[in-house]
Chain A
């Protein structure tokens, strides 16, 4: 957290101070020190293993389980004290401010939940058989208070940091939010059962409950590592395919990025955005099936040579169609050279018949081609490329996608590829024309320009 805004500092200070005050003031009777110590351990462990789900974007922390177990076992003041005491020991890379806020937040929410629990007739201490099932009522109240309190405190912090504004409800990612809340409520429920098993066998209960969570965490880590390895391998292999042509290096990565930006701009679901990134990455794999001498040819292409080039989306489809997760992306790869007016290849589809992914990739593809250097021309500026895209909107490109790309690039910016120096030796292939380039169409003998 660099340069924390003043408002956020004051807010964090307030949270921590009120947590300390609550612990200082509250009645300290009925808190068993040994149990409290174990509760601190429970807090430390659960906070330390917060599971990084959704590619690490949102962390689900099982600390809800610790908080609510603490509420039942040692009451509101105990829960607050346990949370605050655990803050310095959490094994996570966090700076001190974040630690303090997390501790203070957990303490305050636990305190509030504890009072809700007591208010509805819950009793502090490990529950026994007689308490079930009526203990569920105060416990669920505590759970509700915990969930709401957590969201409010976190939301206020975000607001102070200026990360979030009050957005119209349509734009809020409800699904993600619901997943997060659902998981944390589930963990909260677990708190009651930690307390219950605690009543049977004492402290080893913690170990038994946490073991599956530890293993889940480990498996998620493995999963993320494997995912990264997959992405790295995919990117590298795509680039390896591109080494055939000196000038198109990095093309697949940039098309992948551009296609992702368009998809995001259109408000697509995160999973589809990811899929279209893959599709963008792989869209030109089939170019390898085009003989090098055709790609290199400086003169007009013959009919057969042009046919060979027209085949490349199909070849790409052939190569990747066995990759299970691609689904929709396959259509995107196969049809990325269709035109809105139906004069594209390989099928000559028109308008809405062209799969959405293909229309997206077509725009990203042409945009990157125009903004990079080719052997026969220099890179164009972003504005020139925009103008060219607008000119082709409706005939070659889908206007929606063109508008989305322009909006996304205007907002997020676009990193232009480094200017490429022509290679000195003849080891790399230098294409004299590019099938992706809408401003300089391929020249085919005996036909008007395409």
Chain B
């Protein structure tokens, strides 16, 4: 594209985007301070990062003072960890992982013999090597302006700390002879420690996530366990394998045993890409109703953002939140089937019969995909009153959330005036016909209040 085309192509939308910012920002969940005081907003995150940093610095100092042993192995594993860190990926839900680096670090921890000769490195040396490897792997990223998610980096470090401190002190006693059976105690301990590492990871991640999204810890914990189960197992088994193989093959085994893990990593990265694309597609196409003049500009996006923060507030699971986001983005898609846009585009002012019809039409469109049935159900029941209106009982939580979020956005519109927002919330609270779920309205009030608090 030539310069001229580009400027012509983006002039219009750019202007619109600037107008949107005020309200878009309003629903962002994290009220963040700027500057060094930011850490105080998220104490758990700050604590994790500080602990990991302390371990990193401490291990480096300790190893400098007490000296290095078996430099060759340290170098080989350090390089592997650095390369793995360089190839880090981001999973859905903004989870940064570096499978090869983690597996390399676990492998170095579990290393008992190399080609028959016992190794004697201490746990502190493992941590020092991991620290240097992480740092080297991150440098090119930082140089290119892609700073790591520090809390995720700290989490990767803490997992290794747990595993290392649980294994290295006993390494001398575990070193097996030539018999197969003598490996069993070591294998058992390795498996147990990998499990412990996985749990630690989930606890830390859940604490940080719960703090950031204001969701419940138990919900976040379960989400994290699930999110890291597959890859965690792959990382753990590869780490053990690397350690075992080094017994026979020497350090050559390092490269080969990371191969299956690389395949796994590629698969996960691809999945994350597709997931992101999917979300982008739905987000983009949810705007067709705006371009068609059916709803106010940015309506779908704002409703989905508010719905998501209400969902977090009410402790919804991650998978449910994703469905809620899809449903909120597409909640007005049924308007496409209308011959002419309804007055002012706001469904909240439409007749109940009309609202119902839009919901039904939209749900039919979504059901057509064959893969989003539960999303279609949320959209279908989005305008039912909270108490339920007949055979099916009360509508699902997602539908109730969309109803409230839609009403708030329709009534407040693009303005970011807090007084008007309060008046709207008050109106929803006072509503006496059992239309809006009071719990959802309160959650919405909390979400909005927190978002507004930073001004």
Measured in the bound complex, the distance between the Cα atoms of B371 and A318 in whole Å is 27
> What separation, in Å, do the CA atoms of A244 and B340 have in the docked complex?
10
Query: Roughly how many angstroms separate A241 CA and B333 CA in the complex, as a whole number?
Result: 9
Q: A193-B257, A334-B9 are contacts. A223–B285 as well, Cβ < 8 Å?
A: no
Near B by CB (< 8 A), chain A positions 221-249 give 222-223, 226-230, 232-241, 243-244
Complex CA gap A40/B337 in Å reads 59
Binds A, one of B77-85, B125-133, B273-281: B273-281
Q: Which residues of B contact A193 (CB under 8 A)?
A: 245, 249, 253, 256-257
Distance (Å) between the CB of A223 and the closest chain B CB?
4
User: Is there a chain B Cβ closer than 8 Å to A285's Cβ?
Assistant: yes
Give the residue name and chain of the B residue nearest to A207 (CB): B237
Residues of A within 8 A of B413 (CB): none
Majority DSSP secondary structure for residues of A touching B? helix
Q: How far is the CA of A289 from the CA of B240 in the complex (A)?
A: 58
Specify the chain B residue showing the minimal Cβ separation from A192. Answer: B256
Is A322 located at the chain interface by the 8 A CB criterion?
yes
A237 touching B340 in the complex, CB below 8 Å, given contacts A189-B256, A208-B241, A319-B287: no
A286 contacts the other chain (Cβ, under 8 Å)? yes
Q: Which of B276-315 contact A (CB under 8 A)?
A: 276-278, 280-285, 287-288, 291-293
Q: How far is the CA of A355 from the CA of B237 in the complex (A)?
A: 49
Docked complex Cα distance between A379 and B270 (Å): 42
CB pair A215–B365 under 8 Å, yes or no, is no
Asked whether, in the complex, the Cβ of A228 is within 8 Å of the Cβ of B371, the reply is yes
The interface size of chain B toward A, counting residues with CB under 8 Å, comes to: 69
Given A215-B230, A215-B231, are A236 and B369 also a contact pair (CB < 8 Å)? yes
Contact A219 B230 (CB under 8 A): yes
Interchain CB contact under 8 A, A226 and B237: no
Cβ–Cβ contact B271 & A226, under 8 A = yes
Q: Which B residues lie within 8 Å of A215 (CB)?
A: 230-231, 233-234, 264
Q: Give the distance to chain A from B118, nearest Cβ to Cβ, in Å.
A: 13
How many chain A residues have a CB neighbour from B under 8 Å?
76
What is the CA–CA distance of A204 and B273 in the complex, to the nearest angstrom?
34
Tell me if A234 and B248 are in contact (CB < 8 A): no
Chain A residues near B257 (CB, 8 Å)? 193
- A132, B249: Cβ atoms closer than 8 Å: yes
B268 at the interface (CB under 8 A from A): yes
A317 touches B245 (CB 8 A): no
Please indicate the chain B residues that have their CB under 8 angstroms from the CB of A240 in the complex.
333, 336-337, 365, 368
Instruction: Give bound CA distance, A69 to B292, whole Å.
Output: 62
Task: List the B residue with the shortest CB-CB distance to A355.
Answer: B1
CB pair B183–A201 under 8 Å, yes or no, is: yes
Known: A212-B234, A219-B270, A319-B284. 9 other contacts (CB 8 A): A51-B263, A209-B260, A215-B264, A226-B274, A236-B368, A237-B282, A319-B288, A322-B284, A334-B5
**Which residues of B approach A to under 8 Å, CB–CB?**
1-2, 5, 8-9, 12-13, 115-116, 180, 183, 187, 230-231, 233-234, 237-238, 240-241, 244-245, 247-250, 252-253, 256-257, 259-261, 263-264, 266-268, 270-271, 273-278, 280-285, 287-288, 291-293, 333, 336-337, 339-340, 365-366, 368-372
